[in-house]
Structure 1
Amino acid sequence: MTAATVTEPSAAPRRRRPRPGRTVVLNVTAVIAGLALWTGLSVSGITGLTGPVEVVRRGAELIADGTLLTDVLASLRRVFTGFVLGTVLAIPVGFLMGWYATARALIEPYVQFFRTIPPLAIIPLAILLMGIGETPKVFVIFLAAFLSSVVSTFQGVLDVDKTLINAARVLGASDRTIFMKVVVPASTPFIIVGMRVGLGAAWGTLVAAELIAAQEGLGYRMQQAQLYYDLPTIFVGLISIGVLGLVMDRLLLLAERRLTGWQERR
């Protein structure tokens, strides 16, 4: 009788975390490849496509005369104000919906209803009710950030492991202690994800928000450039929005690492 060979199951392979230096090299490589592709397309005869050199030259001109700095500060002020207000309101509302079933039943239909309406569709109503000053611009951005963050926060509370809550209750913890020591930390990753999505929505709404009688801002500058078929200026605006959004997103990721150090990462 032949003895069967028993083999132990091999351990699951560990995921290797990328080294910071390697990540930087890959990021730089991706940027260089993108610029090379852009340059190649611009010299290949595609009608109207501006190359990187023209965009850099135009960007230098806008920096030299102070236009770009003025537009960046105006857009940053609107996005930051709308994003912060939207997030500050969304987090307690999301916690309220997730923790209390009655509040969820009362609030969720309105949240889901307004989520189906693009913030850009609110612009005509915002103009009629709030005029053409800064208020309607900030309000539209606020709405985009709020709707993204509130759903993520709400879902984070719902997804908290019930075993942790029950264990805390068995140990005699009050509802307030459970909420502060269990629910809030466990929901933090969801909140950060909602903030990142809300930040993208805020920047995505900016250009349309600056249609409302703006006299400065990246979106306003791009719309003016469109009238004169000024492609370099449009590209400068697009790149500026992308860079600013990327920097703000990375700051949120840094905050996430500090707030969720307990979480296992890949």
Structure 2
Amino acid sequence: MTSRHVVRALSLAGALGLWQLLTAYDVNLWLRFEQFPTVTDVARAFGDRIGSGTYWQDLTDSLTRIVTGFVLAAVAGVAVGTAIARSRLAADLLGPVLEVLRPIPAIALVPVAILLFPSNEQGIVFITFTAAFFPVMVSTRHAVRALTPAWEEAVLTMGGGRARVLGSVVLPGALPGILGGLSVGIGVSWICVISAEMISGEYGVGYRTWQDYTVVDYPGVFVGMATIGLLGWLTSTAVEVLGRRLTRWLPRPAGDAGARPRTRTPALRRAARPDSLRGGVAP
């Protein structure tokens, strides 16, 4: 365990210790902690929930909704963002509609989802998709537009076609920006899916948390909040780890784990091969 991991563990332990002190002694200054459950109360409730099948069903349902909506949003966001950045026609046809829809909070689309879809499950996935789609689409659009034109011109000069440019220059070059949009999208997705479950869900962490609040089960509410936080952290970490693996060719800051500075992207290395000069396809 490195010193950074120790510091992070101590930070979390300190926050939990402060919570325990404030609630155990019923501190009531400007903020009121006398009605808050203590850390031990939440831990006891958490242990009871883990032993029940309902908890795992709620967790599985929320994860399924998140993964389904997020994967669909990632594919659609990258495709639409790339199309808008690369095609004037796509920008004229899709841009105005998307810019009008983008400021609307995804959670405000719950009534629309209820009217459109035959089941609440599909509506919740739609809300999750909408929440993640716009961050991914906007990040992809900006990342593609920011690419250096010389890279594309080099591949075209060496005999590559539009498909080669897209697969060897555009998508690899825009990948860091796309991954930034994915990181934002997964966080927003969790916010919206939990809210959608509270409003119209059946099962799920958000639904269960709201039910605990209605019956004044505050330790249960905090169990739901802790579960949401852990799930969000795990999924965000998974996106970050995937991003690091996909961008291993990028230079890393000094001291960053796994840093392997390189001077050229895989796309430029492939384009520089002799068979590219002859218009052939690199193996």
Deviation sequence 1:208-251 (CA, Å, 0-9, x none): 21135433111011111111221111111111111111111111
Q: Percent identity?
A: 32
Equivalent position of 1:21 in the other structure? 2
* Distance in 1, Cα, partners of 2:167 & 2:22: 54
> Which letter does structure 2 place at the counterpart of 1:145?
A
Q: What TM-score comes out, normalization by structure 2 length?
A: 0.83
Q: Is 1:39 paired with 2:26? A: no
Q: Is 1:113 paired with 2:100? A: yes
Alignment of 1:64-213 (within 5 A): 64-213=51-200
Deviation sequence 1:90-134 (CA, Å, 0-9, x none): 111111111112211221212221111011111112112224431
* Distance in 2, Cα, partners of 1:212 & 1:239: 20
Whether the 8 Å CA contact 1:137–1:212 is kept in 2: the answer is no
**Which structure 2 residue ranges, 5 or more long, are not aligned?**
27-32, 254-283
Q: Answer with 131-140 or 252-261: which moved more.
A: 131-140
Q: Answer with 127-136 or 163-172: which moved more.
A: 163-172
> Which letter does structure 1 place at the counterpart of 2:186?
L
* Distance in 1, Cα, partners of 2:24 & 2:99: 47
Q: Secondary structure at the match of 2:76?
A: helix
* Distance in 1, Cα, partners of 2:112 & 2:20: 43
Question: What's the C-alpha RMSD, in Å, of the aligned pairs?
Answer: 1.6
* Distance in 1, Cα, partners of 2:162 & 2:118: 45
Q: What TM-score comes out, normalization by structure 1 length?
A: 0.88
Deviation sequence 1:184-223 (CA, Å, 0-9, x none): 1111111111111111111000122113543311101111
* Distance in 2, Cα, partners of 1:159 & 1:50: 50
Deviation sequence 1:1-23 (CA, Å, 0-9, x none): xxxxxxxxxxxxxxxxxxx7222
Equivalent position of 1:251 in the other structure? 238
Equivalent position of 2:270 in the other structure? none
Q: Is 1:261 paired with 2:248? A: yes
* Distance in 2, Cα, partners of 1:253 & 1:129: 34
Whether the 8 Å CA contact 1:145–1:201 is kept in 2: the answer is yes
1:164 deviates by: 2.1
* Distance in 1, Cα, partners of 2:86 & 2:107: 31
Whether the 8 Å CA contact 1:132–1:212 is kept in 2: the answer is no
User: RCO greater where, 1 or 2, for CA within 8 Å and sep 6 or more?
Assistant: 1
Equivalent position of 1:14 in the other structure? none
* Distance in 2, Cα, partners of 1:65 & 1:204: 25
Q: Answer with 165-174 or 143-152: which moved more.
A: 165-174
Q: Secondary structure at the match of 1:111?
A: helix
1:176 deviates by: 2.3
* Distance in 2, Cα, partners of 1:132 & 1:116: 26
> Which letter does structure 2 place at the counterpart of 1:50?
P
Q: Is 1:50 paired with 2:31? A: no
* Distance in 2, Cα, partners of 1:43 & 1:121: 39
* Distance in 1, Cα, partners of 2:5 & 2:116: 48
Whether the 8 Å CA contact 1:132–1:213 is kept in 2: the answer is no
